[in-house]
Structure 1
Amino acid sequence: MTAATVTATGSARQLGWGLAALVVAGNMIGSGLYLLPATLAPTGSSSVIGWIAAGAGAVTLAMVFAALGRLQPGADGLSGFAERGLGRFFGFQTALAFWTACLVGNVAIAVAATGYLGYFFPVLKTPVGGVFCNLALIWLTTGAYIIGARTAARFAALALAVGLAPIVVAVAAGAIAFDPATFVDSWSPSGAPLIQSVPASLAIIFWAFIGVESAAALSARVKDPARDVGRASIAGVLLATVVYILATVAVFGVIPAGILAQSSSPYADLIARVFGASIGGVAAACAVVKATGTLSGWVMLGGETARAAARQGYLAAGFGHGETTPIANPLLGGAIMSVVAVISNQATLGEQFGHLVALTSVLSLVIYGLCAVALFRLAGRPRDRVVAILGLLFSVASVAAAAPGYILPTAIFFTVTSLAWLRVRRNRRPADPDGDGTRPA
């Protein structure tokens, strides 16, 4: 392997279900955990209800991807599932939507890492300092993917172990200093009834579960997709859900919602309150490592999605040949992420993060809904059809609960990609079903 290519053959392909599960959990337990308490401060401690609901929905979606992995082990990522179940039009839509979600979401992850770096370097909390730090993180992790997909996966798994350490400490700090009055007072800071505030927060909360599809998206890299995609998906989601609920209770039981809203490093602030500023600094450093590892995993997913789309004839051949990813693929992805980082820059990191994660969540939930419909079409067992219906209902309900400002850009995106499909059909290259870099005549 050279620095100019990433291959899925030989040892680079060998991702067992355990490592894949850590990639799933690692892709979720990152910016979603480290910065969301500040974003969810207006919802308050009642957001724990949203975490439980989102966790249940994520487990259902994990079962959707487990069934798809079992039924279609040869499918190359989410677009492969959609194409086999719904046809090439929806395969094209899914490929472009998931690639876009990866690129936009990656910027949000970089913003979260920058927020914790701001614990040490306050200048990074400014718009100019923040955008330069975001760009540096994007290109650091793009470089890891260029070196090799397995390198990126190992980095993400190692970062998960490092990143969980401060969360364990934060949960312990919350148990020591937990104040029921603080938790109750922060239940609904806006005063809105829960039937309004909790559903409206689901699109933001579900950002923390974006990654449930990671094992399925990497199905071409997994040893035994028919078995291991399901195992990895469900195990990763369950691990993440437990961590999210414990951490949310801890932070809202110690820090009032009004103060959380102004924080760029909520868990470091929690630990500093209980154990001192020096320990809080260690937690912030671990959070930076974890968020960077999460970014590394998602950069890999974005590149693999573009490679699969090129193999299927949805993107230009320069994005991939069979199971080989040319260097142009990650370089172009890094360039697009850089543009998004600049144009999405806001006065505060929290504001920028909130906009990016909500847009990514709504776009991803639409993709999950399409995959659920694909499963319904492909399923031969009644149990799989029930799972498909539940996954679709959760996806539709979550999108419907999102703010209209996030639904409209998603609708525009799919309108544009539908028009682009007309051009793709006219200039369509045959697909590469064998994955050998050649296409039938």
Structure 2
Amino acid sequence: MSVAKKMSVGQLTMLTAVNMLGSGIVLLPTKLAEVGGISILSWLITATGSLALAYAFARCGMLSRKTGGMGGYAEYTFGKAGNYLTNYTYGVSLLIANVAISITAVGYIQVLFDVKLDSLQVGLATISLLWITTFANFGGARITGQIGAFTVWGVIAPVVLVSTIGWFWFDSSVYAAGWNPHNMGWMDAAGASVAITLWAFLGLESACANTDAVENPEKNVPIAVLGGTLGAAVIYIVSTNVIAGIVDNPELASSTAPFGLVFAKMFTPLIGDIVMAAMVLACIGSLLGWQFTIAQVFKSSADTGYFLPIFAKANKAGTPIVGMLILLAGQTALGFLTISPDLSKQFDTLVNLAVVTNLVPYILSMAALMTMQKVSNVPPGKALATNIIAWVAAAYSYLALYSSGEQALMLGGVATIFGYTLFGFVNNRLIRLEAINNSVPTQTVSAQHLTGEPVPVNHLQSATLEVRP
């Protein structure tokens, strides 16, 4: 790509911000209203942690010479098992997140069409959306990708409008009344919404995927990633707090369509309905894209030997239909298992679980950054500064884990540990692939092939494993 065709730092910054301003914010005003305006403390903590994560991921992207994104980063320190675990937990988090996006759409649909669904009906509607968006992808992702790129503005436009013109309807007395409705302490309030605010930033690591498409990437990628993350943070914080000053706290906390509600109060119920319809379309467009993306994540990992071969099967259009159906079965089960009398509580359960599983790759990547800098011979002073930022990002990740609650930690821990059982099934395949790639003449492979770390010569004989044909 010639320099003339490459993005400027401003264009990449805008792209980064837009990528983060997706369906993650659609139910946030309601969830934050459950804590009150004091939840702005969680926003400040999350913004700081997200900026640290964004910068660290930008450095990872610049230093890594391995493919596979976060899996490649983790491999520097944790070897093949770390690469696998990163891909596995990231894939699981996407699977869970898609169910949460579907529930978000169902919440808005209820208000838009003025229907009241019971818990089973909400579950069935959620699962139906997942099935529809999966089947719609069987012909390939080209059209659905274009749909998603268009419909995402159904979320971005209302959020930006509230952040800017919403101040004309802002009432300080309404905001003050909803500041701390449950009389929480400062520390409790600061940690209460960390997980849900991080939900809005999940995917920030993907902002580093455009390294080759920007001018002077060593300088401009970190600037764009930090700028885009900061821009998204400002819009998130401003929009949710403006809404808290327009809609009474009890009404906002009980709503399943907060943006439709605030536009109805700012303008007319018809405008509120139009905004709700736009957000429903945005969630469905997002699901269309993510249902295909998650299948591709599993397929690419299967192609490289990290996931079971069944996920690598694809039709002539390149669509991994079998893998999509397996993932859809998992999402269907998850939709039934998390059914709750309160749609908001079901959303909570799924978001917290998605955050917990997504934080595993984050933590592994932050730990690997130290090794990556050592391998790349980064000057000690610069390496120390970057490591400090990575430690801040890791500390924030642990806080987010803690804030996700006992149930999410327990279920996320079980899902992560189960991944090691699955690794037993794919590990022999990895050994065979490495033996073929390295043209090993004998039928033994050293432990280095498993861990990515050198094995002392005097231990090689005892460390070799038999590769069965």
Please indicate the TM-score interval, normalised by the length of the shorter structure: 0.7 to 0.9
Note closer, same or farther for the CA distance 1:146–1:194 as it changes in structure 2 (3 Å cut): farther
Once residues 16 and 296 of structure 1 are traced to their aligned partners in structure 2, the CA distance between those partners, rounded to angstroms, is 27
Distance 1:371 1:337, change over 3 A: same
Aligned match of 2:444? none
Which residue identity does 2:360 align to in structure 1? V
3-state SS of paired residue (1:293): helix
Aligned CA distance change for structure 1 residues 25 and 151 (closer, same or farther; 3 Å): farther
How far, CA to CA, are the matches of 2:204 and 2:426 in structure 1?
29
Please state if 1:122 is matched with 2:114. Answer: yes
Deviation, structure 1 residue 94: 1.1
1:301–1:68 Cα change, 3 Å: farther
**Post-superposition shift, 1:134?**
1.8
Matched residue, 1:306: 298
Aligned to 2:276: 284
- Tell me the residue number matched to 1:7: none
Structure 2 equivalent of residue 372 of structure 1: 366
Aligned match for 1:80, one of 72, 76, 94 = 72
Which residue number in structure 1 is paired with residue 407 of structure 2?
Answer: 405
1:65 has 2:57 as partner: yes
**Structure 2 partner of 1:198:** 190
Query: Percent identity over the alignment?
Result: 27
Shift of residue 215, structure 1, vs aligned partner: 4.0
Aligned mates of 1:118, 1:310 — CA distance in 2: 39
Identify unmatched segments of 5+ residues in structure 2. Answer: 440-469
Would the alpha carbon gap of residues 409 and 188 (structure 1) be closer, same or farther in structure 2, given more than 3 Å must change?
Answer: same
Tell me the matched-pair count. 422
* Corresponding residue for residue 344 of structure 1: 338
Counterpart residue number, 2:462? none
Asked whether the equivalents of residues 26 and 155 of structure 2 are also in contact (C-alpha less than 8 Å), the reply is: no
Q: Say whether the 8 Å CA contact 1:182–1:253 is kept in structure 2.
A: yes
For the pair 1:249 / 2:241, whether they are aligned, the reply is yes
Read off the aligned partner of 2:388 and give its amino acid letter: V
User: Structure 1 residues 164, 391: CA separation in 2 closer, same or farther (over 3 Å shift)?
Assistant: same
Aligned to 1:87, what secondary structure does the other structure show? helix
- Partner residue of 1:274 out of 248, 266, 277: 266
| Contact 2:16-2:225 at 8 Å conserved across structures | yes
The aligned residue for residue 162 of structure 1 is: 154
1:30 aligns with one of 22, 31, 37: 22
Q: 1: CA distance between counterparts of 2:392 and 2:30?
A: 30
Work out the CA distance in 2 between the residues paired with 1:27 and 1:337: 24
Give, in angstroms, the shift of residue 103 of structure 1. 0.3
- Larger mean Cα displacement after TM superposition, 401-410 or 254-263: 401-410
Q: Could you say which residue in structure 2 is the equivalent of 1:106?
A: 98
Query: Could you tell me how far 1:284 is from its partner in structure 2?
Result: 0.5
Q: Are the counterparts in 2 of residues 77 and 305 from structure 1 also a CA contact under 8 Å? A: no
Aligned equivalents of 2:216, 2:142: Cα separation in 1: 20
The letter of the residue matching 1:361 is V
Q: Residue 224 of structure 1: CA displacement?
A: 7.2
How far is 1:185 from its partner?
Answer: 1.7
Residue 114 of structure 1 contacts residue 124 of structure 1 at CA under 8 Å; is this kept in 2?
A: no
Is 1:335–2:347 an aligned residue pair?
A: no
- SS of the aligned residue for 2:152 comes to helix
Q: 1:333 to 1:198 in 2, by over 3 A?
A: same
Task: Provide the residue aligned with 1:11 in structure 2.
Answer: none
Q: Compare 254-263 and 134-143 and name the one that shifted more.
A: 134-143
Which position in structure 2 is the counterpart of 1:9?
none
CA distance in 2, matches of 1:16, 1:147: 31
Are residues 23 and 419 of structure 1, via their aligned partners in 2, closer, same or farther at CA, if it must alter by over 3 Å?
farther
- In the other structure, the counterpart of 1:137 is 129
- Give RMSD over aligned pairs: 3.3
Letter in 1 for 2:417: T
1:376, CA displacement in angstroms? 1.7
Distance (whole Å) between structure 2 residues aligned to residue 336 and residue 16 of structure 1: 39
2:351 counterpart (354, 357, 380):
357
Q: How far apart are the structure 2 equivalents of 1:371 and 1:413?
A: 19
> After alignment, is 27-36 or 257-266 more displaced?
27-36
Task: Report the alpha carbon displacement of residue 57 of structure 1 after superposing the two structures with TM.
Answer: 1.4
The aligned residue for residue 398 of structure 2 is 396
Q: Distance in 2 between matches of 1:22 and 1:141?
A: 28
Deviations 1:22-52 (A, max 9, x none): 7754554334211122122221111122112
Q: Distance in 1 between matches of 2:309 and 2:24?
A: 34
Query: Which of 201-210 and 152-161 deviates more?
Result: 152-161
Secondary structure, in 3 states, of the residue corresponding to 1:118? Answer: helix
- The CA deviation string for residues 236-284 of structure 1, in whole angstroms up to 9 with x for no partner, is 4233212211211111101122211210101111111121100101110
The one-letter code sitting in structure 1 at the alignment partner of 2:367 is V
Contact in 2 for aligned 1:65/1:229 (Cα 8 Å):
no
Residues 154/236 of structure 1: CA separation in 2 closer, same or farther (3 Å cut):
farther
AA of the residue aligned to 1:349 = L
Deviations, residues 313-352 of structure 1 (Å, cap 9, x unaligned): 1212232379x65332323222322221222222122111
